[in-house]
């Protein structure tokens, strides 16, 4: 069933999962979210929990127009310290929302997944092999279009007023390239 405004995500609920996708070579691709489908628990034979199925369309390059799907849980979890002293990773939905919106979602209000429709981001694809030996592609990371790092590796914390921001990796690389040797 296509996503509607009636589906709202309560922060910190659910689990995360991705599913197999068509075979695309490993790499980083620019993509647009072209469909979001709500899958109720009774139709989710693998997990038995409600999930969202997001369809991404590759933009540009040799695979322009090719579509891949990824399943994500109904969790909008930013990651952080857990009660057992470990650190929880952000949910894929949270990572995708942050990559598309360019900022962290507001966790004080319900999140409407349809706000991600038409959103642009980078998807990181890896080739996997099923138990039966079939190769398939899987989206393993998501990042904003201008980034070379996956969004999962980005943790935003406010800096003290007296500290300059840490430069991005590509800014450092560009600066090193300008040094005369």
The per-residue pLDDT for range 69-87, each reduced to its tens digit, is 999 998 898 988 878 888 8
The predicted pLDDT at position 162 comes to 39
- Residues forming a β-bridge with 38: 52
- Give the separation between CA 162 and CA 55, rounded to whole angstroms: 43
- Does position 116 have pLDDT exceeding 90, yes or no? yes
- Give the separation between CA 165 and CA 159, rounded to whole angstroms: 7
- Does position 110 have pLDDT exceeding 70, yes or no? yes
Q: Model's pTM, two decimal places? A: 0.68
**Mean pLDDT score of the chain:** 75
The predicted pLDDT at position 99 comes to 94
What is the DSSP-derived secondary structure letter of residue 102?
Answer: S
Q: Which of 96, 21, 117 is nearest to 63 (CA)?
A: 21
Helix locations, 7-140, DSSP H: 92-101
19-45: burial string, b at 16+ Cβ within 10 Å, e else: ebbeebeeeebbbbbeebebbeeeeee
For residue 45, what are the CA distances in angstroms to 21, 41, 42, 100, 165? Answer: 17, 8, 7, 29, 46
C-alpha 83: how far from chain center: 25
Lowest mean pLDDT among 13-17, 37-41, 102-106, 144-148: 13-17
Looking at per-residue pLDDT, the higher value among 8 and 46 belongs to: 46
Q: Contacts by 44-51 with C-beta closer than 8 Å and gap 24+?
A: 46/17, 46/19, 47/15, 47/17, 49/14, 49/15, 49/73, 49/74, 50/14, 50/74, 51/14, 51/17
């Amino acid at each position: 069933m296509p996503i509607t405004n009636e589906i709202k995500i309560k922060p910190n609920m659910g689990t995360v999962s991705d599913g197999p996708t068509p075979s695309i070579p490993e790499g980083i691709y620019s993509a647009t979210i072209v469909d979001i489908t709500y899958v109720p628990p009774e139709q989710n034979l693998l997990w038995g929990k409600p999930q969202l199925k997001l369809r991404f369309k590759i933009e540009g390059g040799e695979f322009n127009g090719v579509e891949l799907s990824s399943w994500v849980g109904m969790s909008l979890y930013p990651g952080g310290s857990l009660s057992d002293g470990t650190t929880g990773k952000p949910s894929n939905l949270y990572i995708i929302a942050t990559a598309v919106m360019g900022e962290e979602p507001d966790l004080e209000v319900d999140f409407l997944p349809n706000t991600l429709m038409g959103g642009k981001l980078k998807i990181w694809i890896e080739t996997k092999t099923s138990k039966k030996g079939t190769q398939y592609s899987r989206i393993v990371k998501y990042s904003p279009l201008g980034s070379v790092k996956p969004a999962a590796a980005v943790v935003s914390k406010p800096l003290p007023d007296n500290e300059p921001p840490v430069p991005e990796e590509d800014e450092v690389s560009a600066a090193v390239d300008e040094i005369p040797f």
